[in-house]
Amino acid sequence: MDNIFLIDNHIHGSFGINFNYSNYIETKFVLKELYKRNIRGICPTLVGEDCKKIQNQLALFKKIKQEQTLKTCEKESLILGVHLEGTFLNPDKSGIQDKEVFLVPNINNYKKLVGDYGSIVKIVTLAPELDEDLIDYLLNKNIKPQAGHTLGEELKNCCATTHHFNAMNPIHHRNKSIALQGLLKDNYIELIADLIHCSRDILSLVLKIKPKNRIMLISDSLPSSNYNKDIIFCNKKINKKGQDEKGTLAGSNQTLDTIVDNLVNKKILTKEDIIQMGFKNQISYLNLNDKEIDILNK
Q: What is the mean pLDDT of each run of 10 residues along the chain (298 residues)?
A: 90 97 98 97 97 98 90 83 97 94 98 98 98 98 98 97 97 96 98 97 97 98 90 86 85 96 97 98 96 87
* pTM score: 0.96
What is the pLDDT at residue 73?
63
What is the pLDDT at residue 63?
96
How far apart, in whole angstroms, are the C-alpha atoms of residue 5 and residue 80? Answer: 15
How far apart, in whole angstroms, are the C-alpha atoms of residue 88 and residue 102? Answer: 6
What is the pLDDT at residue 72?
59
Percent composition of the chain: helix, strand, coil (DSSP 3-state, to 5) = 40, 20, 45
**Contact 134/108 with Cβ under 8 angstroms?**
no
Residues 6+ apart with CB under 8 A from 13: 19, 20, 22, 30, 44, 221, 222, 223, 225
CA 236 to chain centre: 20
What is the pLDDT at residue 199?
97
Closest CA to 159 of 293, 281, 8: 281
Point out which residues pair with 85 in neighbouring strands: none
Judged by DSSP in three states, 156 sits in coil
Residues 6+ apart with CB under 8 A from 104: 88, 130, 132
How far apart, in whole angstroms, are the C-alpha atoms of residue 91 and residue 98? Answer: 9
- Parallel, antiparallel or unpaired: strands 17-18 and 13-14: antiparallel
What is the pLDDT at residue 18?
97
How far apart, in whole angstroms, are the C-alpha atoms of residue 79 and residue 69? Answer: 10
What is the pLDDT at residue 69?
78
What is the pLDDT at residue 212?
98
Domains and CATH numbers, the chain: 6-296 (3.20.20.140)
